[in-house]
C-alpha cells in the first residue's frame, strides 16, 4: 500500500499498548473477554502487569501466575495482537518481587550511611568504608523495598518485598534468571513475534522507603569509583552530605556520574544483551526523566509522565526536569538509530482526569516525537479499593470507552507516521547523561524550531564532528546549543573544535568559557539558530502555543502540528518542503478539503497533519 492508504489503516504494531492491571482473582474466560474488548475498541496490545489486589495464591512468577499470562499471550497471538512483558511485581524493577534477596540476602539493596564516630558498632553484613574526624561511613543494607502485588505489600507494608541491588552484577544476574529465563521457558515460542519487548520500570539503587539520608552503595564500589573517576573517592565521602560548597557540588557530580556509569555496566547493559539474545527489545524507562544516558541500552527507549507532572496550559510543560522527558526518549531513538520510543502515560492523574486532558498529554508526547504510547492503565478489576490504586482507569472502566476507537486510531496513525518517517531536525541541545537543560528548549518550542537533545557521552563515543555538522545515528545537526556550562565534560569542547571554529555552537543565557557565540536573550537565540539552520516552519503572526514535528516519507513530507494553548490558532503558514499540499485529520485520515494549505488552523487539544507531496526537497 502507498503512504496514504497505510495512513488510513496502519499496521497493528503501532497500536496503543496499555498497562493491563491484573489485580484480582483471574479467570481464563474473563481474560479472553477483556482482550476481545480491547481489540473491539482499536487497542491491539497490552502489558500484563501484576498489581495490588492480586490474590496471594497467584504470586508473581509462580506457575499459577505464568499460567494466566500464557493464556493471555496465546490468545493475543491468535488475534494478531502484541504484548510487552513487565519485569516486576510491582515496581521498581530488579528484585523479582523480593525473590532476589530471598535467594541471597547480600543481594538486597545497599547503602552508605554516616554514623557519629562515637558509634561504630557494626551489624551483620556491614563494613566500614572510611572514617573522618566526626563520622564513620558504613556500608550497610538500605532496607529498601518495592511496591508488591498483594495487600500488605504496598509502601510501608509489613510484607513489602525487599528491593534488589542493581549495582551488583551478581544480583542482576539472579534477577534476570528468576524473571526472564523463566519467562522465556514458558513463553519462548512468542518471543520476537507476539512478545516484542520487555518493560523495565524505574530501577532504583536504594529501593523505596528504607533508611533516610543515605547514599547508594554496593560491595566493592570504592574500587569502581577510583577506577572510573581516576582518584580515591573515600577521603571525600563527607562531601556527599555537604551543602552550599563548590567542592561538595563537584564531588557530588562526580559521584552521580560514576553511579550512572556503574548502573549502565551492571544493570542496563547485561539486561539489554539478554533481550538481544532472546529476540526482544528492552523498553520501559529509567528512574529520572533526564536519564538519557542509560537509554543507549534500550532498543525502545522510554520515559513516563505520571502524577500530573504535565498538565495543559501550565509552565511545567515547558520548564523543569519533567518537561524534558518527551524529547529525552525521542532524542535517544534518533541518536542511537532506534525505530521506536515509548512513554508510559497518565498514571495517577486521578479520576478527575478528562478526555480532553488525555488528548492534550498525548499530543504533547507525539509532537515531541514519541511514537509508542502505553496508557496507564486498563484495570482488570475495579472491585472495592482496587479502583483507587493509582487511578484512573483510562480504558474500559471510564466514561469515554464507547468512543475510544477514535482516540486509539488517531494515536495509531500518528505513531505509524512518526515511526516510519525520517525526522527532519537540524538543531541539538547539549546535555549530560543525567541532566538535560530546558531554558533554551522552551525558546525553541515557542518559536517553532525543532531540536533533539544530545548527551556528552553520545557526542564522545558515537558522533562524527566536522566544520559543517555533527552526525550521529540518523541525524545531522547544523547547530548546537550549550545551555549552561555544567553540561560540558572536560574534553567536550576539544571534541567539538571543528564545529566550534566554524561558529556553529551557541551559548545561551550566560557566557560559557571557550564559546564566543553568546545569545543572551530568547530573541538573540532564535536569530542565531536561524542563521545556522534554515527555518523549517514559518508562521505569521508569531505564536507560542504552536508545536510541530516533521518527518520525511518517500511519497511526502509530513508536518504534524498541535495546539498546546487554550485558544484556537489561525495563522499564515509556510514550510520548507516544496510540493502540492493537503491537510489531513488523524482522527479520520480524511483530506480536509476546505482547509487552507497556506494557513494552520487548530482548535485547543487538536492535532493535524500537513502533507507535502514529494517535490524539491530541502
CATH superfamily for 9-111+124-135+138-420 is Glycosidases (3.20.20.80)
Reading the block at residue 524, the C-alpha cell is 538573540
Reported as a single tens digit per residue, the pLDDT across 136-175 is 999 999 999 999 999 999 998 999 999 999 999 999 999 9
Predicted pLDDT of residue 378 = 98
Longest dimension (CA), the chain: 80
Reported as a single tens digit per residue, the pLDDT across 273-331 is 999 999 999 999 999 999 999 999 999 999 999 999 999 999 999 999 999 999 999 99
pTM of the model: 0.96
Residue 480: strand, helix, or coil: strand
Tell me if the bond preceding 487 is cis, omega within 30° of 0.
no
Can you give the residue ranges of every domain in the chain?
Answer: 9-111+124-135+138-420, 425-535, 546-613
Binned at pLDDT 50, 70 and 90, residue 617 comes out as very low
- Count CA atoms within 13 Å of residue 221 on its CB side: 32
Q: Which CATH number fits domain 546-613: 2.40.50.100, 3.30.300.180, 3.30.950.10, 2.60.40.1180?
A: 2.60.40.1180
What's the fold here for domain 425-535?
A: Rossmann fold (3.40.50)
Could you give the C-alpha distances from 108 to 160, 205, 522, in angstroms and in order?
A: 13, 10, 48
Please, which residues have CB within 8 angstroms of residue 76's CB and are 6 or more apart in sequence? 35, 45, 46, 82, 83, 194
Q: Residue 319: is it exposed, middle or buried by C-beta count within 10 angstroms (0-12/13-18/19+)?
A: middle
Q: Provide the H-helix boundaries in 92-239.
A: 99-103, 169-176, 182-187, 221-229
Kindly state the average pLDDT of the residues 542-569. Answer: 98
Sheet with 470-472: list strands edge to edge.
464-465, 470-472, 475-477
Reported as a single tens digit per residue, the pLDDT across 369-395 is 999 999 999 999 999 999 999 999 999
Predicted pLDDT of residue 614 = 85
Q: What does residue 189 show for φ and ψ, rounded to 5 degrees?
A: -65, -20
Reported as a single tens digit per residue, the pLDDT across 584-598 is 999 999 999 999 999
Distance CA 312, CA 442 (A): 15
DSSP 8-class letter at 393: P
Under 8 Å between Cβ of 107 and 170? yes
Under 8 Å between Cβ of 327 and 450? no
Reading the block at residue 446, the C-alpha cell is 515557542
Distance CA 313, CA 446 (A): 13
Domains 9-111+124-135+138-420 and 546-613 alike in fold: no
Amino acid at each position: 500500500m502507498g503512504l496514504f492508504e497505510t495512513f488510513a489503516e496502519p499496521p497493528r504494531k503501532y497500536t496503543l499498548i496499555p498497562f493491563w492491571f491484573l489485580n484480582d482473582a483471574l479467570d481464563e474466560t474473563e481474560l479472553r473477554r477483556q482482550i476481545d474488548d480491547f481489540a473491539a475498541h482499536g487497542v491491539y496490545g497490552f502489558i500484563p502487569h501484576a498489581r495490588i489486589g492480586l490474590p496471594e495464591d497467584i504470586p508473581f512468577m509462580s506457575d499459577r501466575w505464568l499460567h494466566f499470562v500464557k493464556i493471555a499471550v496465546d490468545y493475543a497471538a491468535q488475534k494478531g495482537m502484541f504484548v510487552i512483558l513487565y519485569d516486576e511485581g510491582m515496581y521498581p524493577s530488579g528484585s523479582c518481587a523480593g525473590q532476589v534477596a530471598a535467594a541471597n540476602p547480600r543481594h538486597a539493596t545497599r547503602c552508605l550511611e554516616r554514623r557519629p564516630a562515637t558509634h561504630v558498632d557494626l551489624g551483620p553484613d556491614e563494613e566500614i568504608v572510611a572514617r573522618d574526624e566526626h563520622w564513620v561511613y558504613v556500608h550497610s543494607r538500605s532496607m529498601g523495598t518495592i511496591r508488591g502485588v498483594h495487600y500488605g505489600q504496598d509502601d510501608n507494608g509489613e510484607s513489602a518485598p525487599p528491593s534488589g541491588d542493581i549495582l551488583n552484577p551478581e544480583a542482576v544476574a539472579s534477577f534476570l534468571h528468576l524473571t526472564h529465563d523463566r519467562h522465556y521457558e514458558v513463553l519462548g515460542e512468542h518471543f520476537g513475534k507476539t512478545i516484542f519487548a520487555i518493560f523495565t520500570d524505574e530501577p532504583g539503587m536504594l529501593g523505596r522507603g528504607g533508611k533516610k539520608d543515605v547514599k547508594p552503595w554496593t560491595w566493592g564500589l570504592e574500587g569502581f569509583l577510583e577506577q572510573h573517576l581516576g582518584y580515591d573517592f573515600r577521603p571525600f565521602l563527607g562531601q556527599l552530605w555537604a551543602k552550599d560548597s563548590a567542592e561538595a557540588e563537584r564531588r557530588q557530580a562526580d559521584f552521580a556520574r560514576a553511579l550512572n556509569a556503574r548502573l549502565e555496566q551492571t544493570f542496563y547493559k547485561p539486561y539489554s544483551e539478554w533481550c538481544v539474545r532472546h529476540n526482544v527489545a528492552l523498553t520501559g524507562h529509567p528512574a529520572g526523566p533526564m536519564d538519557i544516558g542509560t537509554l543507549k541500552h534500550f532498543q525502545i527507549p522510554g520515559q513516563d509522565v505520571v502524577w500530573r507532572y504535565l498538565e495543559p496550559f501550565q509552565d511545567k510543560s515547558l520548564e523543569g526536569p519533567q518537561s524534558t522527558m518527551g524529547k529525552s526518549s525521542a532524542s535517544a531513538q534518533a541518536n542511537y538509530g532506534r525505530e521506536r520510543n515509548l512513554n508510559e502515560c497518565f498514571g495517577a492523574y486521578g479520576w478527575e482526569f478528562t478526555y480532553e486532558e488525555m488528548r492534550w498529554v498525548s499530543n504533547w508526547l507525539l509532537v515531541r516525537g514519541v511514537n509508542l504510547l502505553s496508557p496507564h492503565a486498563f484495570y482488570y478489576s475495579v472491585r472495592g479499593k482496587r479502583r483507587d490504586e493509582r487511578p484512573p482507569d483510562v480504558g474500559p472502566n471510564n466514561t469515554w470507552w464507547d468512543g475510544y476507537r477514535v482516540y486509539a486510531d488517531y494515536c495509531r496513525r500518528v505513531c505509524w507516521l512518526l515511526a516510519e518517517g525520517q525526522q527532519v531536525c537540524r538543531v541539538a541541545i547539549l546535555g549530560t547523561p543525567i541532566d538535560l537543560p530546558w531554558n533554551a528548549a522552551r525558546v525553541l518550542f515557542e518559536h517553532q524550531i525543532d531540536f533533539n537533545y544530545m548527551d556528552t557521552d553520545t557526542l564522545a563515543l558515537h558522533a562524527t564532528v566536522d566544520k559543517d555538522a555533527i552526525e550521529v545515528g540518523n541525524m545531522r545537526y547544523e547547530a548546537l546549543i550549550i545551555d549552561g556550562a555544567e553540561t560540558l565534560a572536560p574534553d567536550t569542547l576539544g571534541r567539538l573544535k571543528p564545529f566550534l571554529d566554524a561558529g556553529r555552537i551557541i551559548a545561551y543565557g550566560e557566557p560559557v568559557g571557550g564559546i564566543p557565540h553568546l545569545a543572551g536573550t530568547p530573541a538573540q537565540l532564535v536569530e542565531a539558530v536561524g542563521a545556522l539552520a534554515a527555518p523549517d516552519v514559518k508562521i505569521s503572526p508569531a505564536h507560542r502555543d504552536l508545536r510541530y514535528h516533521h518527518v520525511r516519507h518517500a511519497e511526502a513530507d509530513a508536518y504534524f502540528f498541535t495546539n498546546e494553548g487554550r485558544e484556537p490558532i489561525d495563522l499564515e503558514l509556510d514550510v520548507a518542503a516544496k510540493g502540492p499540499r493537503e491537510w489531513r485529520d488523524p482522527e479520520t485520515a480524511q483530506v480536509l478539503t476546505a482547509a487552507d494549505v497556506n494557513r494552520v488552523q487548530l482548535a485547543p487539544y487538536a492535532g493535524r497533519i500537513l502533507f507535502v507531496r514529494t517535490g524539491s526537497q530541502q
